[in-house]
């Protein structure tokens, strides 16, 4: 992905809120989502975040302010889900993003500014839906630091499985339980085997966890039986979001022998409202390489472009807000912070691995990156890592509480952004979810 005029850090918008320091959604970002005005029965439709506003793409399409491929893309995005837009491919995505960039610039034509201004809705006045109709959801397992940390809990003598450094590992999740940020969920019931017990017990999860992840949405799909080469993988990726793969660790660890995650994972997955396009992330691409003394990717997972800029340097943090935080009106505690650049496999490699056997991906499919943990303790992306499998108390400084796993009333907030000198800050907003008590106790 080459840099172009939409990445110019000096570009400014006529919308003042888009130019404020620390803004997640400047003119250089323009992420896509689905929204409607809160408290109405309006149809959901596609929108683009700019400053503290949402550009209503249905209104833009009806206004006639766009033409050509950009107008076609806006019509595709004016639907209750973004699948039609994602199916159009990179040329249409670029045309729409560039047209909106031009219309939002501080020096845009007055007629265009007037037309676009009429299409704005305050973000504070909207509610969101999951951006696409997700036909399939697949979650990867691609942080070697997370794999080693969790592996030490399950298999202390052999924490890393022998295939981890050779293939991007994944499991098929449950698309129907993917929910938009802000949706609460009930603590799940399940079966677990306590250490030293002779029989499992059934009941509410006692080791509830979050997982700091990113997700990425598939654009144009591939025909059944037709692999996607590594050199073409990113032409099939529309953009990225924040993702929390909530996990019932006690249920998960018992059921994983021998087939892998099932009920410990499929009760809820939260995603952030906005999809940040791969074009917007271009200034933050970084080189990718496995350490020289470790296995190198097989040829089908390797390319010069992936080595040169396959990584993405997204800064990430996890915050925990308990019921006491809310009662005392104090800010949530920060549990950890890391960067997506630490992943052992790139998003292109994940997508290529997914389709290498001819699996047919479809527009709007969601792929999770797996938990994102860095090389230090403070960069762990799950509470099972921070609590060392429940053996260490994690202090919450703002309230005096401690945690080993999540409790009822806890809200976990994920935040992400890209930032460096000479480039505009690109934000992802946040992904949050609250734990409600188990149904039936």
Active centre residues (catalytic):
146
**119: exposed, middle or buried (Cβ count in 10 Å: 0-12, 13-18, 19+):** buried
CB 228 within 8 A of CB 352: yes
Decide: 57 and 46 in contact? Cβ < 8 Å.
Answer: yes
Q: Is the dihedral of CA 149, 151, 155, 159 positive or negative?
A: negative
Q: How far apart are CA 234 and CA 119, in angstroms?
A: 31
293 Rama sector, left if φ>0, alpha if ψ -120 to 50, beta otherwise: alpha
Residue 17, token pair as written in the block: 């809120």
The count of other CB atoms within 10 Å of the CB of residue 196 is 5
Between CA 311 and CA 418 the distance in angstroms is 13
- Give the whole-angstrom CA distance, residue 435 versus residue 193: 23
Question: In degrees rounded to 5, what are phi and psi of residue 83?
Answer: -55, -45
Q: What are 8-14's contacts with CB under 8 Å, separation 24+?
A: 9/422, 9/423, 9/424, 11/101, 11/105, 11/424, 12/105, 12/106, 13/50, 13/51, 13/104, 13/105, 13/106, 14/104, 14/105, 14/106, 14/108, 14/113
Structure tokens at 5: 């005029």
Cα of first residue to Cα of last residue in the chain, in angstroms, is 51
Dump the DSSP string for 242-295.
EEE--EEHHHHHHHTTTT--STTTTT-EEE-S-BEETTTTGGGEE-----TTSP
Dihedral of the alpha carbons of 430, 149, 250, 353, in degrees to the nearest 10: 70
Structure-token match 């683009």, residue found: 48
């Amino acid at each position: 992905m080459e840099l172009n005029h939409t990445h110019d850090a000096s570009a400014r918008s006529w919308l003042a809120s888009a130019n404020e320091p620390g803004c997640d959604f400047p003119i250089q970002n323009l992420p896509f989502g689905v929204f409607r005005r809160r408290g109405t029965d309006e149809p959901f439709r596609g929108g683009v975040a700019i400053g503290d506003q949402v550009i209503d793409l249905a209104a833009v399409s009806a206004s006639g302010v766009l033409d050509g491929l950009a107008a076609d893309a806006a019509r595709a995005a004016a639907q209750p889900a973004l699948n039609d837009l994602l199916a159009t491919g990179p040329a249409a995505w670029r045309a729409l993003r560039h047209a909106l960039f031009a219309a939002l610039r501080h020096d845009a034509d007055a007629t265009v500014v007037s037309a676009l201004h009429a299409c704005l809705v305050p973000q504070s006045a909207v509610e969101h839906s999951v951006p696409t109709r997700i036909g399939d959801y697949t979650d990867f397992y691609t942080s070697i630091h997370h794999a080693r940390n969790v592996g030490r809990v399950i298999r202390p003598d052999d924490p890393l499985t022998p295939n981890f450094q050779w293939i991007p590992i994944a499991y098929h999740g449950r698309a129907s339980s993917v929910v938009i940020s802000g949706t609460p969920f009930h603590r799940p019931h399940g079966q677990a085997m306590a250490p030293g017990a002779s029989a499992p017990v059934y009941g509410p999860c006692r080791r509830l966890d979050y997982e700091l992840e990113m997700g990425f949405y598939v654009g144009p799909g591939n025909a059944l039986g037709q692999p996607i080469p590594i050199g073409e993988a990113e032409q099939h990726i529309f953009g990225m979001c924040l993702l929390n793969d909530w996990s019932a660790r006690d249920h998960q660890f018992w059921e994983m022998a021998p087939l892998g995650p099932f009920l410990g994972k499929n009760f809820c997955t939260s995603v952030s409202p906005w999809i940040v396009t791969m074009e917007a992330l271009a200034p933050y691409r970084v080189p990718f390489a496995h350490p020289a003394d470790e296995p190198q990717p097989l040829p089908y997972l390797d390319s010069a472009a992936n080595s040169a800029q396959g990584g993405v340097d997204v800064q990430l943090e996890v915050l925990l807000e308990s019921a006491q935080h809310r009662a005392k009106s104090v800010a949530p505690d920060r549990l950890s912070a890391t960067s997506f650049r630490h992943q052992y496999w790139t998003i292109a490699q994940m997508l290529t691995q997914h389709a290498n056997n001819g699996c047919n991906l479809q527009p709007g499919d969601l792929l999770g990156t797996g938990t994102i943990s860095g090389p230090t303790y403070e960069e762990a992306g799950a509470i099972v890592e921070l609590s060392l499998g429940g053996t260490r108390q994690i202090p919450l400084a703002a309230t005096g509480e401690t945690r080993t796993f999540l409790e009822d009333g806890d809200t976990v907030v994920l935040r992400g952004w890209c930032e460096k000198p000479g480039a505009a800050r690109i934000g992802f907003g946040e992904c949050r979810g609250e734990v409600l008590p188990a149904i039936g106790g």
